[in-house]
Amino acid sequence: MLFPFRFELKTPAIDDRPVFVTGNFCAWATDLEATQLQPTGPGHYAVDILVDESLPDQLEYKYYRGGEGSLELDDEGELTPNRSANCADGLAQDYVPYWQWGGQPINLGHLPIEETHYIDIPDADEPRRIQVVLPHDYLSNDQRYPVLYMMDGQNIVGEGAGYGSWKAEFRMAQLASRRQQGVIIVAVDHANEGRMGEYTVEARKGKPALGKGDAHINFLINSVKAHVDATYRTLPDAPHTGIGGSSLGGLLAVWAGLRRPDVFGRWLVFSPALWISPGVYAAVQRQPLPADTRVYLYGGEAESQYMVPALNRLRDSLQCPIDDHCAFLETAVDPNGKHEEWRWSREFGKAVVWLFF
């Protein structure tokens, strides 16, 4: 005896490949016409099948797109375990964020273009490296793009240095698979031993190396941004210009947004080192922000006992500045999040989409 079962799928990753489901109900056969899902709306698919009653109570199944090496992937771009559903329910409703391409976790044709520049920096012996990550189709159109300036450039693209990488190029390729409008990422290297000084604004007694952040913000605006705007097709206004980073880089992003809200209208603030800059909360409350400012805050509960409370305090300060000028805020807390690049990488794509689109 046969009984009906319906699979419904939602996926934001749009391409022309057909969508199938396979499982123990069809002996894991592939490319069967009867198991091809049909579009029911943008990003929505469904198929009705007949299941033999001799099967176990639990259906095991997996989605894939037409052809080999096209299995479903999770938010990390990793293969997913087999799904299961109770036959008696008669319905499975699922979500797939990404798909393999030829056995790869991304469509290699969506990898961004990467270019490297060296910018002179005041009072430094060597120019500073910046890595510019352009949308994969940048050279084939005349579109202008928003720009996100990221601190700690050594750890933003590629394999990273020392602590791993955000793999921003991978995240941008994932977004391109969803036909998401592109963003230019500019990864600005830190000063190695001088990093703490460059990324802090407030000086501290007995710590003469701290408090050079204002000079670095000026460098980012007058040298880096000026060069990028002159070289690439950017949208240079504040609503299309972001600044971001993690830890000390996240702290500097806050200060840069406060010092120059006319330049940086988008803040990406991950696991900020707020402990080193106690004056930042009052500074936030004193500074009226343009109404179209957007701020994405992220922190992990496993980073330290202080991270999430400090992040929430920053959020509350941003929500209550003078004159009722309120930033548009999103706060994400990972209950298992630690202070590490791969966690920030996982959140990066979500933050970029929320900030700019």
Residue of 82, 289, 122 whose CA lies nearest to 214: 122
Query: pLDDT of 239-254, one tens digit each?
Result: 999 999 999 999 999 9
Sheet of strand 91-95, all strands in order from the earlier edge strand to the far edge: 83-86, 58-65, 19-23, 36-41, 44-52, 2-10, 91-95
Count of C-beta atoms within a 10 Å radius of residue 276: 17
The percentage of residues in the chain with a pLDDT greater than 70, rounded to a whole number, is 96
Determine the pLDDT at residue 125: 84
For the chain, the average pLDDT equals 92
Q: Helix, strand, coil % (nearest 5) of the chain?
A: 30, 30, 40
Residue ranges of domains in the chain: 2-99, 108-356
Q: Residue 327 — pLDDT band, cuts 50, 70, 90?
A: low
Q: What is the third-level CATH fold of 108-356?
A: Rossmann fold (3.40.50)
Q: What is the third-level CATH fold of 2-99?
A: Immunoglobulin-like (2.60.40)
Beta bridge partners of 60: 84
The percentage of residues in the chain with a pLDDT greater than 90, rounded to a whole number, is 77
Q: What is the pTM of this model?
A: 0.88
Determine the pLDDT at residue 325: 47
Q: Hey, what are 51's tokens?
A: 């299941």
Determine the pLDDT at residue 322: 46
To the nearest 10 degrees (0 to 180), the angle between helices 341-356 and 168-177 is 40
Q: Is the pLDDT of residue 163 over 90?
A: no
Q: Is the pLDDT of residue 75 over 90?
A: no
Query: pLDDT of 275-318, one tens digit each?
Result: 999 999 999 988 888 889 999 999 999 999 999 999 999 999 98
Query: pLDDT of 97-154, one tens digit each?
Result: 999 999 999 999 999 999 999 999 988 889 999 999 999 999 999 999 999 999 999 9
Q: Hey, what are 343's tokens?
A: 């966690």
